[in-house]
A and B are shown apart, each in its own frame.
Chain A
Amino acid sequence: MKAEQENRILIVDDSRTIRRMIAKSLENIHRTSFEEAANGLEAIERLVLGPVSLMVLDLNMPEMHGIEVLKFVRSRPAYKSMPVVVLTTRGDEVSQADALAAGASMYLTKPFSPQELESKVRQLLT
């Protein structure tokens, strides 16, 4: 049964507060654990260290821009189909079209609604 499988969600954002908010928004999704990364390089390292079911990705981060992370991740066969939710601050320079072109599965902006994030992530996990 698929429900028995654990979801590992990787939350990538340089703000500690935002990472906690995202985790809180998603905590009611059944059998889910969270991994966190505060920059792009760390996000990629997390992927190497263990399987990730879905990634919530901020764009404007130190060490590596989220779009670069996304492009790199999509270039690896292992992560081609992993759902990636781009969650960027409104008014940022990267448009929805750019993010989708780089391989995002979903594009949301901050401030986000926890309900909306949860329902989008649920959709992507099924």
Chain B
Amino acid sequence: MADETSENFFNEFLDDYFAESEEHLAIVRNRLLSIEQFVGRSSVDSAHLDELFRSFHTLKGISAMVGLTPAEQLAHKMESYLGALREGRIALLPEGFEALIEGTRTLEQVIAAYRHNENFPDIKSSSDLIESLTGTPPERSATVPTKDMADELQPETSKAKKQWRFVFVPGPAHAAAGVNVNSVRSRLQSVGEIIRSTPLIQEGEIAFEFILVSETSEDELRRFEESGLTFSPLVESAPEPAVDKSVDAAESSAVTSLTSSAASASVRVDLMRLDQLMLFVSDLVVSKARLETQLKSMRGSISAKDWRGLQEINAALGKQLRDLRNGVMRVRMVPIGEIFERMRFVVRDLSRETGKTVVLEIKGADTEIDKFLVERLMDPLLHLVRNAISHGLEGEAERLAAGKSAAGHVRLRAQTAGEVVVIEISDDGRGIDIDEIAARNPHVQLFDADGKVDTSQLLKIISTPGFSTRDQVDRASGRGVGMDVVHQSITELEGTVSLETTRGEGTLFRITLPLTLAITDALIASVGGQMFALQQSAVNEVVEIDPKSIKIMENNEIVLYRNHVLPLVRLSNVFGYDRKESGTLYAFVVGSGARATALVVDKVLGLREVVVRSLNDPLLDISGIAGATELGDGRPILILDAMEILSVAARN
């Protein structure tokens, strides 16, 4: 039916399609995990089945609309299977459950392939499997499947739980106050389970009836009366006619509490519009910097009073701009829990595949990160979690022998720290076998003078493309491919990865990411007459160094700093400028632990809010340069990538 014109017509809805299918796939993954406990039992929780059925149904419908036939067909097969389960024609057996999981994965891949313009994966095996398990549907019945209500209105309920009949009469006054059938339903659901909701006619008016099973006391339930609902206990013989209460007096304070349901208080915004908004803010930041430069040049030519007035306005503008920037940034933030939840699914899969029992612990799921980052973090996290389970965690026997719990633990943690967000993926497995890695990489200095492991070197080795410590092909995590991709993706996001590992105790990967990419605080410095910027989040501190305290060790300059040896890297050397430093030196301390290094500059000019413009010319790749910015006088300056600079310096 989708002829050429309608195809064009529906193209503008592709983003809606992807967003909605993502939501449904999330529901599906979640509900599949919930019904797993019913595998092999005679019946499956009907609420979960209903939700699954409906999600596949919607996926089928919207996929058909955008002409994504493989997704439509697969979703249809899954829906039919769930339909058969729901009607009790078949039982949920392990192979059926696996087929649902497999089908969901394939469906996800089809949609992802469509999104990225790639070839579709083959749906035939998933689809055939599901179909073979579904069996033949019975003769088409002419009636609409409706639930047998008599079954659900159980005459016997436990002592604490009671059945209540609520009646809500909708009307414009309620609607204006935000009280509607949806808000009433969700509020009732918060105090119990609604086993039936139907429209009915009450005194010539349309009303809605909800049958609620709840432990909540009658007194507690009475507060619903203030919102225009009437209620009465449900008597088995015949429902009492609801007392007709005047609903006019309903707009009391209780009404407002009904409106506070989260759903109605949020809006969906196209990410593109937010990007645009951020762009506007970025332009403002640049204009603000230009204003500042202009002001400075006027200083001598206006009176002190005028100057002060202008400065005050300028300062206020600066603060407001910062608030605006933070506000726009916050709008873009989404909880990281979205990705964490997806990992549950992965863990479940891998746990089956590897035969290891895995407990996934999630902390800080409500930590917010830029939506832009969410999409790009999925693959790196996925890989780290896979690695943790297939390489990190030992098998049960090995764990027990080592005096550990039989079940392995994988922990996902997220936390905001100032301008950065820190994400940790850890396991309590065997830890990385450093001796083996050292033996296989004899030319690499893996241990420092004290015999401690240089984790940044270790990370470097395992992030080498093609690295693997295992000889046998491991299906789950590939053959070591991936850590290089993790490293690359995180670096692209201006983030860093670090690693801690202890033999026999486990491994922890820590990802540190800037909260936002577009605008950042940067330290401005000059070297050889050129100005440079360095992201503030990359700098631990700014130090003064007395040239007399510098010692030379193996051709390297070092200083003793806080009882540690701090190597010096002179940026003038790195860039091949004449050395201009004289007297006290200024340096930025970057890197952590054994990798801490002082980057020596001529002068530190200050801290500025800068707009990062990436230099993404594919033909141009200068290591050590993260991007460029302008400070307001129109001249571009380069933003340095501290970590890269260190590598460049080491190579020279």
A interface residues (Cβ-Cβ under 8 A, vs B): 14-18, 20-21, 24-25, 38-39, 41-42, 44-45, 47-50, 60, 62-65, 67-68, 72, 76, 89-91, 93-95, 97-98, 110-115
Contact = CB atoms under 8 A, between A and B. Distances in A.
B519 interface: no
B206 A113 contact: no
B3 A21 contact: no
Contacts of A76: 201, 206
B620 to A, nearest CB: 41
A85 to B, nearest CB: 16
Given A41-B185, A89-B57, A65 B144 contact: yes
Contacts of B19: 17
A91 B57 contact: no
Interface string B43-76: 0000000100010011011101101000000001
Contacts of A44: 181, 199, 206, 208
B180 interface: yes
Interface stretch (B95-103, B167-175, B492-500): B167-175
A91 B65 CA distance: 14
Contacts of B468: none
Contact of A17 (B9, B16, B172, B185): B16
B140 A95 contact: yes
Given A68-B146, A93-B140, A114-B9, A18 B197 contact: no
A87 to B, nearest CB: 10
A64 B197 contact: yes
Contacts of A93: 140-141, 144-145
B198 A64 contact: yes
7 contacts: A17-B16, A25-B9, A49-B170, A65-B146, A68-B144, A76-B201, A93-B141
A115 B199 CA distance: 34
Given A18-B65, A41-B197, A111-B2, A48 B58 contact: no
A93 B20 CA distance: 24
A89 B56 CA distance: 12
Given A17-B20, A48-B170, A110-B65, 19 more contacts: A15-B61, A16-B20, A17-B62, A41-B182, A42-B181, A44-B181, A49-B172, A64-B198, A64-B199, A65-B145, A76-B201, A76-B206, A89-B57, A95-B140, A97-B142, A98-B142, A111-B1, A115-B5, A115-B6
B181 A41 contact: yes
Nearest to B172: A49
Nearest to B12: A24
A18 B61 contact: yes
Nearest to A60: B57
A17 B24 CA distance: 12
A111 B67 CA distance: 8
B144 A67 contact: yes
B27 to A, nearest CB: 12
A36 to B, nearest CB: 12
Contact of B3 (A14, A41, A47, A113): A113
Contacts of A45: 170, 175, 180-181, 208
Nearest to B17: A17
Contacts of A114: 6, 9-10
Interface residues of B, number: 45
A24 B6 CA distance: 11
A104 B170 CA distance: 25
Contacts of B561: none
A64 B200 CA distance: 13
Contact of B58 (A15, A63, A68, A95): A15
Contacts of B142: 95, 97-98
Contacts of A25: 9
Contacts of A67: 144
A121 B146 CA distance: 29
A13 B9 CA distance: 19
Interface centre among A44, A89, A95, A98, by most chain B C-beta atoms within 10 angstroms, is A89
Contacts of B146: 65, 68
B13 interface: yes
Contacts of B181: 41-42, 44-45
Interface in B1-34: 1-3, 5-6, 9-10, 12-13, 16-17, 19-20
B54 A20 contact: no
A63 B175 CA distance: 19
B62 A18 contact: yes
A94 B5 CA distance: 29
Contacts of A63: 185, 197
B141 to A, nearest CB: 8
Nearest to A63: B197
A16 B13 CA distance: 11
Contacts of A17: 13, 16-17, 19-20, 62, 65
A42 B141 CA distance: 27
B62 A41 contact: no
A101 to B, nearest CB: 9
A56 to B, nearest CB: 14
Contact of A72 (B10, B60, B67, B199): B199
Q: Which A-B residue pairs are the 10 nearest by beta carbons?
A: A17-B16, A111-B64, A89-B61, A67-B144, A45-B170, A45-B181, A41-B181, A17-B20, A111-B65, A44-B199
A55 B64 CA distance: 22
